Structure 1
Amino acid sequence: MRSTSALALMMASLAVGALSACSDDGDTGGDTDGGTLPGTDGGTGGTGNGKCPANAIICENFDNGQNGWKTPDEEHNATIAIDGTRTRSGSGALHVVTEAGHNEFPLGAEEDPQTIAHLRKDIPTFGTVLYARAYVYLNRAAPQDVMGTYFILFSPKEGSFGGIELQGMINGGFALDDWSGIEGTGWNLQDPVKVKTSPNQWNCIEWGVQRAKATDTTGHAQVWVNGAQAFDFPNVGMRPFSNFAVGYGFVHPHGDSASETWIDDLAVATERIGCE
């Protein structure tokens, strides 16, 4: 269930070149061999205090407008803005609205049935470990049999194109969409669902992506909600990811495609950030 909006991100990255990350340290930590090895319950100790680490790649409270983020290069039946309609802290938050009534079935009924929008930044090339943390407010759960995409990591490099994305389900659980093209990997669903998100409140969502060595083509990805681990996705394809996207929306809507989402207090680092 590859996010075709990521294709637009790829083309834009190739066109405009690298964007600067928020860190003053440039590539600091991007290829570190630190972090937890695949197959372990990483992040249960030393979980961070919820504050953005000093060497973070991105620290964004969306109070300074665009602040270097790139807007989508194609319209996908959704709007994305930084405004003050609902914030967790400060004066701004990322605000995504997806349109109602878009349906990918029957096939060919719409030229572009997606309802999805993200902002994106280039980041230092992924080494062995990367964590993202954001507070997310959904006005509703994802529709039945549809996944809502929060975060995307991808590589636009020729010969290494591919990506992974963290998705939310109607039951508050998660899925990991893997279009890395690595043999033996693919879409992965959280099961059982014991830790989950709830609509109409702020949820602290953390995503950890890890591999043992920077040359490994597979690793694993973890997700936490409000500090509790929800799932550890195995056999995740790894690429030299160099682009991070945050937003929301549906790649494969089934007609029930209206949603409104706010995202605030985002951080991306090479150590787990935790929740405040």
Structure 2
Amino acid sequence: MRSTSALALMMASLAFGSLTACGDDKKDVDNVDAGTNGGSDAGTGNAANGKCPASAYICENFDNGLNGWKYPDDEHNATITIDATRTRSGSGALHVVTEAGHDERTGTEADPQAIAHLRKDIPTFGTKLFARAYVYLNRASPKDVMGTYFILFSPSEKAFGGIELQQMNSGGFALDDWSGILGTGWNLQEDLTVTMTPNRWACIEWAVQRENETDTTGRAQVYVDGALAYDFPNVGMRPFTNFAVGYGFVHPHGDSASETWIDDVAVAPERIGCE
């Protein structure tokens, strides 16, 4: 289970206890088509080469520094900066470096995580939310370890919880669900027809949907370069008001060194697409 800080983890544990495995039920939310959907800059950043719809809550190519982004509550054995070491467009990109040698299995580290994200508040989640980012990994995630890209989080005391999109060593994905909704939990992609590969700029999209604003479950889809990689059923839904983007490992197994660049990030209530 993952949250925004050690305090949030404790709150989640106290409020919800252990989460159950993901069930098989899902609501019949319309599938998002795999085509691209360009648009104009929404004015919340300068993603001129990233294409954002006018409805975008976030449209960011990191050319203006933090530009309203917040650093994590804690830095977990990683650095997160905005620099020009590798960019997809413009003069800046998000640059995450995780330290080597952290291993949660030893039980000797107070904080064995190696992960960092930037965060922004977004309008309260209703029925559809779409995130798009271009990602450059210098390596696949370590074997049996998940690398986290995006987090949607609700800090509300009455609706505390979150979900996050993770990368697996196989190139597939996982959906970590610590929403606290009964019957939901961690969900692993098993169909590896469409995968993520390192050492190139790849377009990753994350679609989170539910039929009605009051539904407590829905579904989440992940696309790579416009192609549907996986459709996660029975995902716990909360009134998410916070979006995070970055990379790193919540449960590292010693081989925790990585370097990742992220550029042209967009979040909107409609499909954003890739160029």
- TM-score (norm: length of structure 2): 0.87
Q: Is the 8 Å Cα contact of residues 179 and 238 (structure 2) preserved in structure 1?
A: yes
Q: Identify the residue that residue 201 of structure 1 maps to in structure 2.
A: 200
Counterpart Cα distance in 2 of 1:38 and 1:274: 23
Counterpart Cα distance in 1 of 2:243 and 2:222: 16
Counterpart Cα distance in 2 of 1:185 and 1:243: 20
Q: 1:135 to 1:46 in 2, by over 3 A?
A: closer
Residues 117-136 of structure 1 aligned to structure 2 (within 5 Å): 117-136=116-135
Counterpart Cα distance in 2 of 1:261 and 1:46: 26
Q: Identify the residue that residue 219 of structure 1 maps to in structure 2.
A: 218
Residues 5-16 of structure 1 aligned to structure 2 (within 5 Å): 6-7=4-5
Counterpart Cα distance in 1 of 2:194 and 2:34: 18
Residues 54-69 of structure 1 aligned to structure 2 (within 5 Å): 54-69=54-69
Shift of 1:100: 0.1
Q: Structure 2: which 5+ residue stretches go unaligned?
A: 10-25, 39-49
Q: Identify the residue that residue 33 of structure 2 maps to in structure 1.
A: 44
Shift of 1:75: 2.0
* Superposed CA RMSD: 1.6
Q: Is the 8 Å Cα contact of residues 5 and 74 (structure 2) preserved in structure 1?
A: no
Counterpart Cα distance in 1 of 2:60 and 2:154: 22
Q: Identify the residue that residue 139 of structure 2 maps to in structure 1.
A: 140
Q: Identify the residue that residue 87 of structure 1 maps to in structure 2.
A: 87
Q: Identify the residue that residue 244 of structure 1 maps to in structure 2.
A: 243
Q: 1:181 to 1:77 in 2, by over 3 A?
A: same
Q: Identity of aligned pairs, percent?
A: 75
Letter in 2 for 1:268: V
CA deviation map 1:138-172 (0-9, x unaligned): 00000000000000001000111000000000011
Letter in 2 for 1:51: K
Shift of 1:109: 1.2
Q: Is the 8 Å Cα contact of residues 153 and 244 (structure 1) preserved in structure 2?
A: yes
CA deviation map 1:12-62 (0-9, x unaligned): xxxxxxxxxxxxxxxxxxxxxxxxx94356221664126200111000000
Counterpart Cα distance in 1 of 2:190 and 2:176: 15
Shift of 1:10: 5.8
Counterpart Cα distance in 1 of 2:235 and 2:115: 23
Q: 1:137 to 1:46 in 2, by over 3 A?
A: closer
CA deviation map 1:199-246 (0-9, x unaligned): 000010000000000000000000000000000000000000000000
Q: Is the 8 Å Cα contact of residues 101 and 255 (structure 2) preserved in structure 1?
A: yes
Counterpart Cα distance in 1 of 2:227 and 2:267: 18
Shift of 1:119: 0.1
Q: Identify the residue that residue 162 of structure 2 maps to in structure 1.
A: 163
The size of the alignment, in residue pairs, is: 248
Counterpart Cα distance in 2 of 1:53 and 1:8: 35
DSSP 3-state at the match of 1:105: helix
Letter in 2 for 1:132: A
DSSP 3-state at the match of 2:5: helix
Residues 226-265 of structure 1 aligned to structure 2 (within 5 Å): 226-265=225-264
Q: Is the 8 Å Cα contact of residues 72 and 118 (structure 1) preserved in structure 2?
A: yes
Counterpart Cα distance in 2 of 1:64 and 1:145: 36
Q: Is the 8 Å Cα contact of residues 182 and 238 (structure 1) preserved in structure 2?
A: yes
Letter in 2 for 1:206: E
Letter in 2 for 1:124: P
Q: 1:181 to 1:191 in 2, by over 3 A?
A: same
Q: Identify the residue that residue 45 of structure 2 maps to in structure 1.
A: none
Shift of 1:72: 1.6
